[in-house]
């Protein structure tokens, strides 16, 4: 092949000569001068493009963080499932994007010994994004923005046990109910039987363990889980794989659901599809799932909990009738002399309330 002139006046390399050069010189190629000039030219052009784009690219990370935060917080306060998705997005971003951004900033600052304006903005946004990451651990939580006035339908049912119950957590505010920070458990209750909250390591030392649990209303069993172990009490089990433990979900006539959790292994008496009457035994209190001591957890939510992860449903108001306390009894605790003292209400079902004057489901 002969040499051919290019428009720029350079000479196209002879391919046969190039092949001979590769065979003869191996890694030490002695390329023709025209080809040897291509590398620096390309590098110069790439550097020019990079220098022109860098003022924009350096704002990509803070821009992404700002977009995630704005959209997440907007959804969080929008209501319905959008609020649930927004909550989950904020928590997820806080646990992933925020620490990755902070580590990248630290590495860059140590390498360049410089903290530019975009880096300062990124640091501030990452710090804000990191806050919701703590919500998943119950730290610096805020009340989930569902309100009693705008959340419907509510449910008014009987207590899930005939025993005298101590409200560990319950009510509308974080002061009396730590569940209020989470979307599906916005108005959840933790109900105990004395003796409780003493830190013992023997299940038999807790009054709630083995206490019969009954259906709070006539309903259809939407889910029944059994066979999970009861954990040692007195410390958090950290069972994040099965947080509800042995549990029963009841579909009410409103099409919403009650979830009753932490039941005793082998105690569940119903199966999915069963029709249950109000007051019918469905299991016994245990210490399965993510828990620290035997108690009856109950909450009301819009979506069917079967096959749905915890914290991914809309919580709905839950009230109790036919007992000797307020419709929404409050819980709470105090630490006195390094001991936990439960300060919540004590309630007991009134067995003789006539059916015709019972408050219906709302």
Q: Are 144 and 299 in contact (CB under 8 A)?
A: no
Give the start-to-end residue ranges of the domains of the chain: 15-57, 60-135, 155-357
| Dist CA 253 CA 166 (whole Å) | 28
Hey, what are 310's tokens? Answer: 């915890």
Query: CA nearest 84: which of 92, 118, 319?
Result: 92
pLDDT of residue 27: 47
Query: CA nearest 92: which of 139, 133, 141?
Result: 133
pLDDT of residue 19: 52
Q: Which CATH architecture has domain 155-357?
A: Distorted Sandwich (2.70)
CA angle at 232 for the pair 229 and 235, rounded to the nearest 5°? 125
What DSSP string runs through 266-299? T-----TT-EE-TT-EEEEB---SS-SS--EEEE
| Dist CA 214 CA 260 (whole Å) | 10
CA angle at 136 for the pair 130 and 139, rounded to the nearest 5°? 75
Compute the 3-state secondary structure of the chain and give helix, strand, coil in percent, each to the nearest 5. Answer: 30, 20, 50
355-359 long-range Cβ contacts below 8 angstroms, 24+ apart? 358/158, 358/321, 358/322, 359/156, 359/319, 359/321
| Dist CA 72 CA 151 (whole Å) | 21
Coil, helix or strand at residue 255: coil
- Phi, psi of 141, rounded to the nearest 5 degrees: -75, 160
| pLDDT tens track for 74-91 | 999 999 999 999 999 999
The one-digit pLDDT tens for each residue of the chain (362 residues) are 444 344 444 444 454 554 555 455 544 545 555 555 676 777 777 777 666 766 776 778 788 888 989 999 999 999 999 999 999 999 998 988 888 888 888 887 788 777 788 788 888 888 898 899 999 888 999 999 999 999 999 999 999 999 999 999 999 999 999 999 999 999 999 999 999 999 999 999 999 999 999 999 999 999 999 999 999 999 999 998 999 999 999 999 999 999 999 999 999 999 999 999 999 999 999 999 999 999 999 999 999 999 899 899 999 999 999 999 999 999 998 888 888 889 999 999 997 554 444 444 45
pLDDT of residue 157: 98
At 340, which helix (H) or strand (E)?
strand 339-342
pLDDT of residue 45: 74
Instruction: Report residue 110 CA to chain centroid gap.
Output: 34
| Dist CA 144 CA 88 (whole Å) | 12
| pLDDT tens track for 297-317 | 999 999 999 989 989 999 999
Residue with tokens 């108690």: 295
Please measure the distance between the N-terminal and C-terminal CA atoms of the chain and give it in whole angstroms: 91
């Amino acid at each position: 092949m002969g040499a051919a002139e290019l428009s720029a006046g350079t000479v196209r390399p002879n391919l046969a000569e190039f092949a001979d050069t590769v065979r003869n010189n191996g890694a030490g190629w002695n390329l023709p001068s025209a080809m040897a000039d291509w590398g620096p030219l390309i590098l110069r052009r790439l550097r020019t493009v990079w220098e022109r784009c860098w003022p924009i690219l350096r704002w990509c990370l803070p821009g992404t963080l700002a977009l995630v935060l704005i959209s997440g917080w907007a959804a969080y306060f929008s209501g319905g499932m959008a609020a649930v998705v927004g909550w989950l997005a904020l928590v997820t971003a806080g646990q992933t994007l925020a620490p990755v951004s902070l580590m990248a900033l630290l590495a860059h600052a140590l390498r360049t010994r410089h903290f530019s304006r975009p880096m300062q903005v990124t640091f501030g946004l990452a710090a804000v994004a990191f806050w919701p990451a703590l919500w998943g651990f119950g730290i610096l939580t805020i009340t989930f923005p569902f309100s009693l006035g705008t959340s419907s339908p509510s449910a008014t049912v009987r207590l899930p046990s005939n025993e005298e119950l101590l409200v560990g957590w319950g009510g509308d505010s974080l002061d009396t109910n730590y569940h209020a920070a989470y979307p599906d458990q916005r108005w959840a209750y933790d109900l105990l039987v004395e003796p409780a909250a003493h830190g013992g390591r023997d299940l038999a030392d807790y009054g709630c363990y083995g206490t019969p649990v009954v259906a709070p209303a006539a309903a259809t069993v939407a889910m029944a889980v059994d066979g999970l172990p009861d954990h040692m009490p007195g410390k958090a089990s950290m069972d994040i794989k099965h947080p509800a433990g042995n549990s029963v979900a009841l579909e009410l006539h409103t099409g919403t659901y009650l979830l009753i959790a932490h039941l005793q292994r082998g105690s569940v008496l119903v199966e999915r599809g069963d029709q249950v009457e109000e007051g019918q035994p469905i299991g016994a209190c245990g210490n399965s799932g993510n828990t620290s001591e035997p108690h009856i957890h109950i909450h009301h939510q819009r979506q069917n909990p079967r096959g749905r992860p915890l914290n991914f449903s809309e919580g709905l108001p839950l009230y109790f009738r036919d007992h000797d306390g307020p419709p929404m009894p409050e819980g709470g605790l105090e630490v006195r002399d390094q001991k936990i003292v439960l300060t919540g209400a004590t309630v007991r079902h009134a067995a003789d309330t006539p059916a015709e004057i019972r408050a219906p489901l709302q």
